[in-house]
Chains A and B, each alone.
Chain A
Amino acid sequence: MTDTLKNILLFGIVAVLICIAGVTQSWNTALLILNMGLISAIMSIGVNMQWGYAGLFNVGIMGFVALGGLASVLVSMPPVPDAWAAGGLGIIAALLLGAATIAGAAFAMKRLPKGRVRALGILAILIVGFFVYRAVLDPSVDAVEAVNPALYGYLGGLNLPVLVAWPVGGLLAAGAAWLIGKTALGLRSDYLAIATLGIAEIIIAVLKNEDWLSRGVKNVVGIPRPTAYEIDLQNDPAFVERAASWGLSPVDASTLYVKVAYALLFTIVLVIILWGAQMALNSPWGRMMRAIRDNETAAEAMGKDVTRRHLQIFVIGSAICGLAGAMLTTLDGQLTPGTYQPLRFTFLIWVMVIVGGSGNNFGAVLGGFLVWFLWVEVEPVGRWLMDVVTAGMADGSWLKDHLLGSAAHMRLFTMGLVLLLVLRFSPRGLIPEK
């Protein structure tokens, strides 16, 4: 059996699995799995570029995904004019002051001679800058957050089409990745891991607490959609008639229609990114990356700037994660900072990449679909399993209740087990690197 045939078969199996979910559960569920699978596939391509091409270990995927989500709010929500009038300029001035402080400290660092004067000078700039920044920021933030807090309490966005937010999400994530990469790359590999773990937590903390920016835990709902709304479709006589000719009720037809539209949009993005990633992998640049990954010392001896190349691919991979994050928030239609969990948004993506096959983009895509399918389906299967296990026990017994209630936690266990089994027995994944 050739490799191509095997790969087609693997993708076919995943397609069949999703179809089984469609038949046994509902086609809505199946399409939801498909849509989330498409987004997961894009995220795992991003991680695969970092890990598979270059061997960089990034555990801050959640942060980059959340930045993408923030982008879709900042770009597509309508601005809140009252909030802007109340404190918009103050906040922007404060942010500029903060940036100027850091720039000033960096400038002092470069220009002043090394010694106590420089250390004290930098410290003074940072401390004074921080207090000035807070003095300007705090009143403006209070003013903004006081503007109709039940509905707004934040500055809003730019009121642009939500599709614009996708690349913007990528840019935001790229900026954060550049900052991290600049400090942590070039040191030992674990340091990057810990630095990314930290930045992800901080990004989530900012989203949760800076209400003027993202409404914090009050969430932003009603992010505009790139597709039609179900209710409009149901009120459209032509659509209802066409749905009836397919033998579907207007409600079913409209939900399916919207999900299919999303699936098409996401597929277009996935195909573009997959094509780009494949072109990059097979280009001289991709060969250089793999050469660096396999032997940094040799690559450096050949005149390659390892740290710069690492920074480059780290930024690109994170940007792809940011893009996927913006798509995810668009699909959800809301930004809920409280739902970003590292196990779900960082480590699950890692399982996808490792299971699919690190270094191979098609592997990453397959892993994205397969692992997402497992993630969704483990819960009902776990509950069923627990039902079987506890069938013989007396109703209302302590153990039975406990086991049934804990079925939801089977997910993490299963994912860990899958990861360990693949790493041990098939470390190259389902579709190995060529």
Chain B
Amino acid sequence: MDLLNAIVALTNFVIVPAVSYGSQLALGALGVTLIYGILRFSNFAHGDTMAFGAMVTILFTWWFQGMGLTLGPLPTALLALPFGIAVTALLLIGTDRVVYRFYREQKAKPVILVIVSLGVMFIMNGIVRFIIGPDDQQFADGARFIVSARDFKEWSGLDEGLAIKTSQGLTVITTIIAVALLFWFLNRTRTGKSMRAYSDNEDLALLSGINPERVVMYTWLIVAALTTVAGVLYGLDKSFKPFTYFQLLLPIFASAIVGGLGSPLGAIAGGFVIAFSEVTITYAWKKVLGYLLPDALEPSGLVQLLSTDYKFAVSFVILLIVLLFRPTGLFRGKSV
């Protein structure tokens, strides 16, 4: 019984949150990795793009909620998501036309593009704060739990409850769908293949008649979808606050680098590596150990390796370890 209780507690407090957080990071890291592979720079505006996408979706959600349009047990935000993606795509393609294209034509060094993306980050951050303000926003509705702790306790007769929030289940399902679509697109369609060709060898791709502007436009479209989905899921799961999206930049970059920049599969693996390390290291293990160990050995403290405020330190340390021992990442991404 104690063993079952321990497993349930572990699932409830570590595995479920880590899987949903990992999915969100994976979606973010996929965007970073795509931009890196095709446009060849690290996009510092990524976190704020996520915030922008989430903001547009929230505005549409509020509008739908105001009209009485809901999805029953599912959050209305799902209905608003396509609109959020569309507006974000317009913004990103507009930004590319006005800002990035000039530097691409000049063949500017990647680091210049990174600084340019800093400027874009400032502007997007300003726009988001200007429109929706810097505060927390609630936009989740529908059923809160797929499995609530009390139902689970009654059903299983265990002391420990297992709760799965709708947002968590939704995150995992949406991520699986998004990733499946992305890989299908990259591996099966003509445009996807031309994107991969362009990422592998730009000159060869140009010679074989691939239109770079088209490839870039498709990249931004996909990035818009990925960032908006990631931003909305994160907002549903935790809450929407513009500044937290900026702070997500570090774990997202860490995921992309750990997996290997430029490798989509690596981005997903990296996202889960980072999420699981963050959650396990900042989780207080007292409860789980209390079930597993005999009473005499039961820990007196919380058995928390690091306080949750240091979760950035976890992604950072993993990043450093990877940089030191395997700079191309787990999946051998590019290293320019």
Contacts and interface: CB of A to CB of B under 8 A. Distances in A.
Contacts of A138: 301
Interface stretch (B66-74, B76-84, B118-126, B193-201): B118-126
A193 B257 contact: no
B125 A343 contact: yes
Contacts of B319: 194-195, 198
Contacts of A433: none
Contacts of A193: 42, 44, 111, 114
Contacts of B320: 183-184, 195
Nearest to A424: B102
Contact of B122 (A195, A198, A415, A424): A415
B62 interface: no
Given A183-B320, A201-B316, A412 B129 contact: yes
A423 B112 contact: yes
30 contacts: A57-B114, A130-B305, A183-B320, A183-B323, A183-B324, A187-B335, A188-B327, A189-B114, A191-B257, A191-B323, A193-B42, A195-B319, A195-B320, A197-B249, A197-B250, A198-B250, A202-B313, A205-B309, A205-B313, A342-B246, A343-B125, A405-B133, A410-B130, A414-B126, A415-B122, A416-B122, A416-B123, A419-B115, A419-B118, A420-B119
A58 to B, nearest CB: 11
B253 interface: yes
A287 interface: no
Contacts of B305: 130
A139 to B, nearest CB: 10
A190 B114 contact: yes
Contact of B323 (A195, A199, A354, A417): A195
Interface in A158-206: 183-184, 187-191, 193-195, 197-199, 201-202, 205
Interface in B234-267: 246-247, 249-250, 253-254, 257, 261
Q: Is the interface of B mostly helix, strand, loop or mixed?
A: helix
B208 interface: no
Contacts of A413: 122-123, 126-127, 130
B323 A423 contact: no
Interface string A402-434: 000110011111111101100110010000000
Nearest to B313: A202
A138 B257 CA distance: 34
Contacts of A372: none
